[in-house]
Amino acid sequence: MIYFDNSATTKAAPEVVDTYAKVSANYWGNPSSLHKFGEQAFNLLEQSRQQIADLLGVKLSEILFTSGGTEGDNWAIKGTAMAKREFGNHLITTEVEHPAVHNSMEQLKQLGFEVTYLPVDENGRVSAEDLRAAIKPSTILVSTMAVNNEIGAVQPLDEIAAVLRDYPRIHWHIDAVQGIGKGLADKIFNDRVDFVTFSGHKFHAPRGIGFMYKRQGRKLDPLMAGGGQERNLRSGTENLPAIAAMAKALRLLLDNEAAKVNRQREIRLAILHHVEKFPNVTIFSKDLPVFAPHILCFAIAGVRGETIVHAFEEHDIYISTTSACSSKKHVESSTLQAMKIDDGIATSAVRISLDEHNTMAEAEEFNRVFDELYTQFAKLN
């Protein structure tokens, strides 16, 4: 089997599964309990938090645990809206965000907030100049992704940071679900960002766990009220086995990160340079520094994306249409629409997404199968 759908989800690492099982068996106390079993659980909780903070070069108090990227995005956006509503009601995001961001913004519009969606260029990237022009005295939040989940475009985070340094009271949230472990930490954890959200199952941790970076001193209202866990910001008994497992997964991910990123980039380029030679192929993730090393999106004219996906599946190769969150709903790529790609081509788009375990041999097998399938599709057309 060749698994090229890592942006949808990754396989939990064996060491991570082992950590999850051991913590479940041995640390079953509630971290909020006063007895020794609770104290042991609390200590492990904070050790996991410290490990994540150290790996990312931030403070322990700046790491908050969530159930994943969707909750983190909702929290950063709606929590800011609630915390800063007395200062303004204007929010800025982009036309290419994940549904967790887009739909949160749409909900807030129904409550009277104003939302500006920044357009993107032919590479799926926003302009820092457009951002500056969109800012108003009532702006309280800017939310941008680090890496686009459909085509892999890396947003100009350095340029966005430069603009927002002139507006220190505006919250800036980065959805970095697709950016962790891809050599982008310096851009993501810049000196201006306020909130960054992550999802564990994107880097070999269990599903249903994630974390948020919240800059110390920034206001954020809780979405979940209850027992006051996570410094009174996110109530609910902590999922300690998954948290400890996620800390392990992050450590494994970031070990020798540069070499892993280079390998993914080389595999991606081997596939890109092969498929781009065919006349009916359109590449959306071009070979430019503005694209992440692990995502490649392309289309074969006249063949629907789901047809391509199932054709590769017959050869035990697993790719996807542009987004796992919309593929079964037959929703076309919002990113390609924002890039003004013709619907006839956009409906043919598929995505390859790699991780550090993929190999060049898998790329060569993919290219061999691609040649075979391309010939079959040409005969059908």
Answer yes or no: is pLDDT of 332 > 90. Answer: no
Would you give the DSSP letter of residue 122?
T
* 297 is known as an active-site residue: no
Mean pLDDT for 187-216 is 97
- 9-22 per-position pLDDT tens digit: 999 999 999 999 99
H or E segment and range at residue 100: helix 99-110
Residues 210 and 77 reside in one and the same domain: yes
Instruction: Report how far residue 160's alpha carbon sits from residue 178's, in angstroms, rounded to the nearest whole number.
Output: 18
**Which of 220, 254, 288 is a domain's end point?**
254
Residues 174 and 279 reside in one and the same domain: no
Residues 99 and 142 reside in one and the same domain: yes
**298 and 151 in contact (C-beta within 8 Å)?**
no
Residues 307 and 237 reside in one and the same domain: no
Residues 144 and 263 reside in one and the same domain: no
**Which of 227, 254, 281 is a domain's end point?**
254
Would you give the DSSP letter of residue 202?
G
CATH at 299: 3.90.1150.10
Residue carrying structure tokens 């903070």 = 53
Q: What is the SS3 assignment for 317? A: strand
Other Cβ atoms within 10 Å of 165 Cβ, number: 11
Residues 335 and 349 reside in one and the same domain: yes
Catalytic residue among 58, 324, 325, 378: 325
Q: What is the dihedral of CA 215, 217, 218, 222, to 10 degrees?
A: 100
- 344-370 per-position pLDDT tens digit: 999 999 999 999 999 999 999 999 999
Length of the chain: 381
- Provide the sign of the torsion angle of the four alpha carbons 301, 307, 313, 318, taken in this order: positive
Residue 166 belongs to what domain range? 14-254
Instruction: Report how far residue 63's alpha carbon sits from residue 211's, in angstroms, rounded to the nearest whole number.
Output: 7
- 272-292 per-position pLDDT tens digit: 999 999 999 999 998 777 999
- The proportion of the chain whose per-residue pLDDT surpasses 70, expressed as a percent, equals 97
Q: What is the dihedral of CA 274, 275, 279, 284, to 10 degrees?
A: -130
Residue 230 Ramachandran class (φ > 0 left, ψ -120 to 50 alpha, else beta) = left
**Which of 221, 254, 287 is a domain's end point?**
254
CATH at 44: 3.40.640.10
For every residue of 272-312, DSSP letters joined together read HHHHTTSTTEEESS-SSTTB-TTEEEEEETTS-HHHHHHHH
Instruction: Report how far residue 305's alpha carbon sits from residue 328's, in angstroms, rounded to the nearest whole number.
Output: 12
H or E segment and range at residue 319: none
Residues 246 and 307 reside in one and the same domain: no
Instruction: Report how far residue 174's alpha carbon sits from residue 15's, in angstroms, rounded to the nearest whole number.
Output: 29
User: Looking at the 3D structure of the chain, how many domains does it have?
Assistant: 2
Residues 58 and 204 reside in one and the same domain: yes
Residues 220 and 361 reside in one and the same domain: no
Mean pLDDT for 322-349 is 77
Mean pLDDT for 60-66 is 98
Answer yes or no: is pLDDT of 304 > 80. Answer: yes
User: What confidence score (pLDDT) does residue 327 get?
Assistant: 46
- 134-178 per-position pLDDT tens digit: 999 999 999 999 999 999 999 999 999 999 999 999 999 999 999
Residues 197 and 297 reside in one and the same domain: no
Residue 278 — φ and ψ, nearest 5°?
-90, 135
